[in-house]
Structure 1
Amino acid sequence: MSNKYIALPKGMSEKTFDSAIGDFRSVLGDAAVLTSPQQLAPYIKTMMPVPDSDHTPSAALMATTVEEIQKIVGICNRYKVPIWTISTGKNLGYGSAAPVERGQVVLDLKRMNRILEVDKDLAYALVEPGVTYKQLYDYIAEHKLGLWLSMPAPSAIAGPVGNTLDRGVGYTPYGEHFLFACGMEVVLANGEVLRTGMGSMPNSNTWQVFKWGYGPYLDGIFTQSNYGIVTKFGFWLMPAPPAFKPFVIQYENEEDIVEIVEIIRPLRISGVIPNAVVIAHALYEAPVKARRSDYVTGPGAIPDAAVRKLAKDHHLGIWNVYAALYGTPEQNEVNWKIVTQAFGKSGKAKILTEREAGDDPAFKYRASLMRGDMTLQEFSLYNWRGGGGSMWFAPVSQARGSETLKQMALTKEILAKYGLDYSGEFIVGMRDMHHIVDVLYDKTDPGQVKAAYQCFDELLTIFSAQGYGTYRVNTAFMDKVAETYGPVQRQVHKTLKKALDPNGILAPGKSGIR
């Protein structure tokens, strides 16, 4: 145990780490190498049901240039120092900014925050990893570029590089973020700089307009991985449509989810509804309007009767289907007729537009996301129970109503076993569904911490056994999820890691890759 540092890299002596820290300071300056407990506090706290000490970093480095990063990886190779790269995002619910393993050095790139290019005509941006959505949003507005962003729910405090590299999603027609990525600059573990796609060609002006380049497509291996450090990132932006029509369709019963998905799927595949459709359960929307303690106190999951009362009190459906139409007024009118006819057949749906919804806070929050505007409203989830505990459970299934009902019932059963509530939503892509469940618990309560860990472990175990793969997970469960994808994939990941990072300096353990 070191007295000088709050943690040390695995297997490293304090003397050796002293030498590495000295070399880092020679590159970055003393002020950009953080080692004190006070300086490292923002990189320690997690929302997972494990001791924060399991994820305590040994230091943090504030790099600002590619050249500095090249020198940093050289030092890391020399001393075998592992680094965990982050940028703007907090990654709340997926592990926070803390490293996957105790003692890793955080490489914080939030000071690399230049917007390098935004092309109005070709509708793309090239940015550094520290650029936030809010920064880019303000830039686009200031220059009157007429372009829209797609962003995740944390919007303003997140950034396009970190979110896309973890394969996050948004709520506009450009919401499958990696699909709209185009061109990366990557510092490899040996210090070399790779530009993917057309960026590898000297004098190319097509880096941000043609994804593929020549030969094997490499961009994908730098997402959810630890094969390189992305220092520049290109992606496509959506031209602002002439008209935007957000709407919500409410249903009163949980079993209606089958009908909802069967209606949505053909509308999504045909492009009538161009953005990912969110089907939010009442308990997912409730924190915008209420707190758990308003309806139930004491242990155990919230009863169904209380959920129904809450939904009635706050004008929510048990299911709330959020989507939007984008285009000319004439296009939207035609598609709106198709949507309302499809949802109106059974007589179960209550259809609301902006006119009917008025100032409803849940609707305004969802409309903002679908418009690409700034909102932090989703953080109200953390007020539902309180206590600072959160883990996102994110299995994927086919976009079929039967799959949805099966997943919801199974999830509710497991959560209730541990006294936890079902705060979930389904996001329907073209042919897939992301089932997003926030496992909320009180991290100050040892009993709830234990229950939350066991609950999440059981969710992963049961869903994986039934063939539902998890697409993203917090750092405490990365190894478990990687294991569910089988030995061949893990071996390929390991082979790539050995070839690109033989000393294992880049985020060992990220996505279960070492």
Structure 2
Amino acid sequence: MDRESQYKLFLERVADELGSDRVFGQLAAEVKYSVCTTGVHRTIPGAVCPVSQGQIKVIIKASRELGVPLYPVSTGNNWGYGSANPAIDGCVIVDLSGMTGITLDVETGLATLEPGVTQRLLQKYLDENSLRFLCPVTGAGPDCSLVGNALERGYGMVPHADHFLSVTSLEAVLSDGRIYKPPLAELGCVEVDRAFKWGIGPFLDGIFSQGAFGIVTQMTIALAPVPERVEAFFFGLPHDADIERAVEAVRALLSEVGGSLGLINLLNTRRVLSMMEPYPRDQLDQNGLIDEQYLLKMARRNQVMPWMGTGAIYGNASVVRAVKSVIKKRLSGIVKKLVFFTPESVGNLKRLSRLIPGESGLGLQNMFGLLDKTLQALSGKPSEIALPLAYWVSGKRPEDNTPMNPARDGCGLIWYSPLVPMRADRVREYTKMVHEVCIAHRLEPLITLTSLSDRCFNSTVPLLFDRASEEAIERARQCYNALFEAGRAIGCIPYRATVDSMQHFIDPETPYWQTVAALKRELDPHGLIAPGRYSQS
């Protein structure tokens, strides 16, 4: 049987079980799933949309019998990393967005979620049931999957920031149709399995994170309770040369009181301005980048310094007071305009700024508007606060109230997201490298450094470009590749890959990747689950 006939028979067989409305042929599947902010395009022969674990077993059975490879996605909104595109051509998409089950233990805050549960859906569930837990908000937007983000080892804005670390249990359908469960759950102790991440014996749940060993159908995540008080702090570094001292101060601060702090972000001028003003297309230099003099003018107008910092304190009133004292002590003499805000105070300032006329008033409105949105996210409210970034260069934002979808709306975005040791000299070396490489490829160097611990930053650099231009797409890809190699040379490597950069990470001669390959051969001998995803097959 030829390949085309295999796909056709597979889709027909699945349609008989799931219903024809839950199965898409190649044309419909590529329209729905292949559009991507990175400009990558995969041949997608079809898509299936199960709503239960039982239906996934049907799909797996047909896949195994007909040799059709599958690529599961939770919602497919993996902006900047590949959206819903598979790692290789020829995979049928398994769209899990219709699986939206939620159960929550209100005493422990353990939420068991199916892959289609988005930030928006979980927040709605919490609100409707008057449950005081924080939604694990990320910058990807309200309509992105919580399970998908955790499996990519993403992180968020509230105290339980490391999302896979917050995962306590999961279930998955393996390539032969068996259901994987952690050992304590297999022994019938479901409650304690969900309460204790590590179980007994070798820890195997982790292979499903950035792995291709099965289709995850549910996951238990520990939610953080709503604290008595959330207070954000913001500060500026008046000179680029202050970044080294700031890194040392942030490391000391996190080491001393990290448990009461969320993530601390350091953002360069361009990155902050991208959240405050439209892209100034009439003020570009000969390389198509923002003119340096106009950049300074934008920064002055919005009171943006070479580096800006943000963070949040979570706890009761006495804890917040104590942590504020430590923050002031650690950052004293290094930062300028260290200010603390609650949602109530920034709302009042936002309203007052509207009374100030002229450019000064406009700058304050931009600043307090940004602070207001940031505080809502830090308080666990899903929002589109970070999504406008994807539209900054393209300017193609929806004109109505349609939820933002950067892939659908023609945005060009590739995320370069390396881990950076929290060392002053390494951060200086890294930021210098990013600036030089991006400028050389005629892309705006937008840099954020986010504390994952008191030892390590994750940096996110959005490569923004015109996706309508093949030349711009190729230039962005070359820039990513150059950043990858230059970053690796100084010890900074991405924590997750785009769907077309995974082979950068794999060295088949090393014991690690040989072990991954051995596990893949054992659990998926025919390479039918997400071939090419963090693996060679």
Whether the TM-score (by the shorter chain) exceeds 0.5 is yes
Gaps of 5+ in 1: 1-10
Per-residue CA deviations over 1:228-275 (Å, capped at 9, x if unaligned) read 111010010111111111111112322322122111112112234521
1:340-351 equivalences under 5 Å are 340-346=328-334, 348-351=335-338
Q: Secondary structure at the match of 1:125?
A: strand
Whether 2:74 is the aligned partner of 1:87: answer: yes
Once the two structures are TM-superposed, the CA of residue 19 in structure 1 deviates from its matched residue by 1.7
Contact kept in structure 1, 2:81 and 2:498, CA below 8 Å? yes
Once the two structures are TM-superposed, the CA of residue 337 in structure 1 deviates from its matched residue by 1.1
1:444-455 equivalences under 5 Å are 444-455=468-479
1:378-389 equivalences under 5 Å are 378-386=386-394, 388-389=411-412
Whether 2:321 is the aligned partner of 1:333: answer: yes
- TM-aligned CA distance change 1:512 to 1:415, over 3 Å: farther
Whether 2:385 is the aligned partner of 1:377: answer: yes
- TM-aligned CA distance change 1:422 to 1:12, over 3 Å: farther
Once the two structures are TM-superposed, the CA of residue 290 in structure 1 deviates from its matched residue by 1.2
Per-residue CA deviations over 1:191-237 (Å, capped at 9, x if unaligned) read 00011252222143212211111101111110001011110100101
Once the two structures are TM-superposed, the CA of residue 39 in structure 1 deviates from its matched residue by 5.0
User: Which residue is equivalent to 2:128?
Assistant: 142
User: Which residue is equivalent to 1:239?
Assistant: 225
Whether 2:448 is the aligned partner of 1:428: answer: no
TM-score normalised over the length of structure 2: 0.89
Cα distance in 1 between the residues matched to 2:79 and 2:4:
31
Contact kept in structure 2, 1:287 and 1:383, CA below 8 Å? no
1:380-419 equivalences under 5 Å are 380-386=388-394, 388-419=411-442
1:195-234 equivalences under 5 Å are 195-234=181-220
1:184-203 equivalences under 5 Å are 184-203=170-189
Cα distance in 2 between the residues matched to 1:254 and 1:41:
45
- TM-aligned CA distance change 1:12 to 1:266, over 3 Å: farther
Once the two structures are TM-superposed, the CA of residue 325 in structure 1 deviates from its matched residue by 0.8
Whether 2:371 is the aligned partner of 1:363: answer: yes
Per-residue CA deviations over 1:411-462 (Å, capped at 9, x if unaligned) read 1101111111111100012111101100111111232222111111111112
Once the two structures are TM-superposed, the CA of residue 399 in structure 1 deviates from its matched residue by 1.0
Q: Secondary structure at the match of 2:190?
A: coil
Cα distance in 2 between the residues matched to 1:49 and 1:39:
17
Contact kept in structure 2, 1:295 and 1:306, CA below 8 Å? no
Contact kept in structure 2, 1:490 and 1:513, CA below 8 Å? no
Q: Secondary structure at the match of 2:164?
A: helix
Once the two structures are TM-superposed, the CA of residue 89 in structure 1 deviates from its matched residue by 4.5
Per-residue CA deviations over 1:323-374 (Å, capped at 9, x if unaligned) read 111111111111101101211223x422122246833122122222221111
Whether 2:36 is the aligned partner of 1:46: answer: yes
Cα distance in 1 between the residues matched to 2:494 and 2:17:
40
Whether 2:112 is the aligned partner of 1:122: answer: no
Per-residue CA deviations over 1:261-312 (Å, capped at 9, x if unaligned) read 1111121122345211111222222232212225623534334433322221
TM-score normalised over the length of structure 1: 0.93
Structure 1 vs Structure 2: percent identity of aligned residues? 24
Superposition CA RMSD, Å: 1.9
- TM-aligned CA distance change 1:410 to 1:203, over 3 Å: closer
- TM-aligned CA distance change 1:60 to 1:89, over 3 Å: closer
Out of 117-126 and 440-449, give the one that drifted further: 440-449
Cα distance in 2 between the residues matched to 1:174 and 1:486:
36
Count of aligned positions: 498
Contact kept in structure 2, 1:198 and 1:212, CA below 8 Å? no
Cα distance in 2 between the residues matched to 1:287 and 1:197:
47
